[in-house]
Structures are given as structure tokens and as C-alpha cells.
Amino acid sequence: MIDYYSDRENGPVARTEDVITPAVWAAIVATVQGLINSGAFGQRFPDRCPDGQAVCGCDEAAFGAAVVGEIRGLEWPLQTTQRVEEGFSSQWEPFAPDTLLILDFVTFVHAMVAKPIQREYHKFLRHDHLVFDQAAGQEDFCETINRYFARNGLAFEMQPTGRVIRVLPPVIDLALRRTTFNTGERTLDVLLEEARTKFSDPNPLIRREALERLWDAWERLKSLENPSNKKNSVHLILSAVTAEPTLYARLNAEALELTSIGNDHLIRHYEVDQKPVIDADHIDYLFHRLFAMIQMMLRKKAT
């Protein structure tokens, strides 16, 4: 990782952005083009020496065809600008595809890349014959992509496997990683674990599914102490949380409000008069709010 002076002086940029800008996309495209030029995709898409058929580079056309076939919506060559019409004139402006397409693309590149290593120099044709170290190539690519994400405040991170996950805010990230769901009720554990897994997904639609699972878990949790009387069950759970009357009243009001949010919006039910939760920031807020309540109730229930 490059040791930038600004990072040492000011600290890292907050990882809050979830849209990849044209500038970052252009950097990714430049990196991939550099890998093509170096022959880094030659293991999967080889350009072979006519004298003996050793691999001497990458077949760029074959690689591009694979990109188009695998990542629906991307064009080859990769576009970093687009023409914008304004009345009778037009101009080229920076362009980036949809963020999810870009994340799929970098995952694809990670699967295909390998570090080219010179085996021998072919003097007559003036090129190198190559062998490949896939693990080293993937590690280098992962480090580069994560550096782009981090320095541009993007809330994404590529794991060593090539899978891209979302970087969560530190408080909820720590809570999600440290919490072990062992409620004694199998279905509730499954719902909570599914919510945790989906909430780290870069796709906002998957994160919305995480919110749905968490609200399903909330409704199930409320009935644990008395399945036949949910109101009494909530009373028993909250009584275990606190015996202080004022705090109990506030937590009970919060429990009622959370239930109302789930019933009034398109989270648990799908009646026509319900209001959808679409904005990614709203999804994050509601998930954080409900998870904090569930986490506290489960901790106190376990003691």
C-alpha cells in the first residue's frame, strides 16, 4: 500500500460514498489496460508465439469478448466518456457505468488476472515468453482496487477472494461482527444471520432484503417469551432489560414505534397503502435503529 503524506496528516477519507465516479472508473480502466499490455490475462486469454506456441501476451479481443459476454451492460472497448447533446452542439463528458456493473467487472478481472513472469526472451520476434503467478496477480489487483476505493471515500472493499463487500460504518460494523446469534430459536437465528450477511452487500436491493429479514426477526423475537400473547411477551423481555420505570417506558415506546414503522412501510407487508423504503440512507438508518434494539434485548435475555 502506498504511504501517502496526506493520509498520515489528515487520516483516511471517510468511507461513505456508494457511487463510483467517472474519475475512479477511468482509473480502473487504465489499470486494466495496463494489465492487458503486460500480458496479465494471458493465462486465460493467451496470445501465442507463432514459433513454438509459448504464451507471449494477452489476446485483447478475446478478453474483451469475455467481458461483454459476462458483464451484461458493459461495452468493449470500455467507455470513460460519452457525448452529451446540448441544443445544436455536443461535447464529450466523463462517464462511468452503473456502480454495480463496475463492481461486477472488477470481480471478473480479479478472477482472470495473473502476474506475468518472463520465462525467456525470444530474440528473433523480440518478445518475452511468459509464465504466470495467479495468486500474486490477484493480490496486486486487489490492493490497487482497494486503494482507489479508500482514497475516494468509497464504501466498498475487495476481499482476497475477489468478492466485493460494503464497508459499514464503524459502530454497526463492530456490532455485526462481534454479535453471535444463539437465541435458542433456530428460525430467529437464521433470520438474524441472513440480515447480517445481506446488509454488507453493495447492492441496495439486497440491503433492503436485509432490512426485511431484520424486521421479520423483530416480530419473531417479540413473541419468544409468550407466543400466545405478543404484548405480554414484549413486557417480559423489556422487564429483563431494565427495571427502571422511566427507561422501561421509553423502551416500550420505541418497541411500539419500530413495530409501527414495519407495519406502515413496505418492509414486512405489501398492501397498496404502504410507503416503500427506497433511499439507501433510510435503509441504513432503520437497520441501525432496529439492530441496536434487538441486540440489547438479546444480550439482556441471555443474562
pLDDT for 12 equals 80
pLDDT for 82 equals 93
Place of cell 433492503: 208
pLDDT for 241 equals 92
Which residues, given as ranges, of the chain have pLDDT below 70? Answer: 1, 171, 178, 266-274, 302-303
pLDDT for 10 equals 85
CA dihedral (163, 167, 170, 175) positive or negative: negative
**Contact at 8 Å (CB) between 141 and 35?**
yes
Cα(60)–Cα(42) distance, rounded to whole angstroms?
9
Cα–Cα–Cα angle for 126, 128, 132, rounded to 5 degrees: 165
**Domain regions of the chain by residue span:** 5-165, 168-302
Cα(125)–Cα(52) distance, rounded to whole angstroms?
12
pLDDT for 163 equals 96
pLDDT for 273 equals 58
Note the pTM of the prediction, 2 decimals. Answer: 0.82
Cell numbers standing for residue 233: 411477551
Cα(217)–Cα(214) distance, rounded to whole angstroms?
5
CB-based contacts of 98, cutoff 8 Å, min separation 6 = 73
Cα(222)–Cα(298) distance, rounded to whole angstroms?
11
pLDDT for 124 equals 73
Cα(185)–Cα(52) distance, rounded to whole angstroms?
64
pLDDT for 9 equals 84
Work out the burial of residue 191: count CB atoms within 10 Å of its CB; fewer than 13 is exposed, 13-18 middle, 19 or more buried: buried
Other beta carbons within 10 Å of 133: 14
